[in-house]
Chain A
Amino acid sequence: MAEEVTGSSPPAKSNGRRRGDGVFRSMTTGSSLVIVVSIGLIGLFLLIQAVPSLNANNINFFTSPEWATGEVGNLRFGIRDLLVVTVLSSLLALAIAMPLAMGIALFLTHYLQPKLARPFAYVIDLLAAVPSIVFGLWGAKVLGPALEPVATFLNENLAWVPLFSDGNVSLSGGGNIFTAGIVLSIMILPIITAVSREVFRQTPVMQIEGALALGATRWEMIRTTVLPFGRSGYIAGSMLGLGRALGETVAVLIILRSATSSSTFSFFDGGYTFASKIASAAPEFSEPLSTGAYIAAGLVLFVFTFAVNALARYVAGRGKAKAS
């Protein structure tokens, strides 16, 4: 009697009638196992198929900007430029989206009346419903050209900042990291906002009322109670956004113009991110060794996003522990 008890459950005794319980329990456990195993398989399969190509690679995988996988006998591929473009565009996106998301989340949770906040929040969520290929389309055809004067202005006046110096593609049309980063920032805005909104809303009412009762203005109340309370959630949400930006594929693929020379570490570069490089070559995945080069790039992206997401989780978990 009185054996260990699971969840909100009576313990299942293993005599005939409880077979239904056993079967159902196994089904649910099995499903969880599918998820756990598939993550492991993703890493494993990418690794297995990347290794032969990495062995056949004739240049340094991490430091070379070159990417030539056409000749199976002479594979030359390195991810330096992919890394640079991916990181630059994602960080630009994050730099724009983070303050905006914080402002929006505070606006929705602590300034608007609840009645209005709902439809307003819905508007932001609508952004998440727009598929990435449409963002790419709009970025390449509408926003890019519209941003061209801004890019030209920054390039002419701030060229001494390396990030705004001449890139490896022409400014015309806006097919550069600058445009891509801005589009990415719009795409990751909803997730950062949604997470921040959730934590800001959970600020204990007692703390808020305490601050207000001391004669704090609304902003002072936010600064002293809401922001400290929601900080880790906000950071975690931003990390999730960063993860999205790092892995975004088709929008970047459509927007960025391919470059003939290697990256100059400027916002006005073109080129490929990990994801867009893989997608661009997808129709030609036939030769295992050259496909393996792209799979190696995918593996790096996977590890990268895994790390960012795990970090987000860690930050969020610590915040939760502190709050309770």
Chain B
Amino acid sequence: MAMPLIHIENIVKKFGPFIALNGVSLDVRAGEVHALLGDNGAGKSTLIKVLAGVHQPTSGKIFIEGKEMHFRSPRDASDAGIGTVYQDLAINPLMSVTRNFFMGRELKGPFGTLRMDEMNQIAHDEMLKIGIDFSDPTQAVGTMSGGQRQTLAIARAIYFGAKVLILDEPTSALGQKQQMGVLKTMMRVRARGDIAIIFITHNEIHSQLVADRFTFLALGEVIGSGSKDDLEHDEIRRLMAGGVDIGDLAKEIDQVMAEASV
């Protein structure tokens, strides 16, 4: 089997006495969507921040294409090819699509001038590749829908060299149709075959629609993992709830209701 694009080994992250991650390991291959699931507080956010270079792990190793990496800053991580699309997307609503696309990495001509036509063209083409035909790249981002903004952020990360794309709950704040749009965008990126996608989500249906593999986190540890074929629907649901059976939960709820009616 092909070498994983990103290989994470036994990552431990402590904040003082608090153990946020207790030995997490993960492999993601190119052209694969790897869903990272878990309840609130499971350690998903901490793991992303370690991968994005925001936090340094207490111990453990990160390999990209077989080479061990040490990220001291978010810039190190993005230079190594890790593109993180956060929930707030790091987008400026008053600025145009193009100006956002190239923010901080503008194409310069002589005297620091912007190669605006070229930048407009690239922004348009890159967004078209993953599914949005944007007729006017000078339009302000504030007028775009949430799904379109998500696409902009993803297209930007890919254009600037992301080999590992981390999507932090990209469907969470969107309406039904836009969620599907973002999932389609992910599948187009997957079809390129050279990018590994880490998909963080709360939504088991979304994860089942697009993911090839799953890793479940609970209380800072991996409690289960496997490919799409290995896992049963109920098993996914059980693991997502942190290993609690939904049946157990129903019993507990009945119990509370019984107590309340006494």
Q: Do A and B bind each other?
A: no
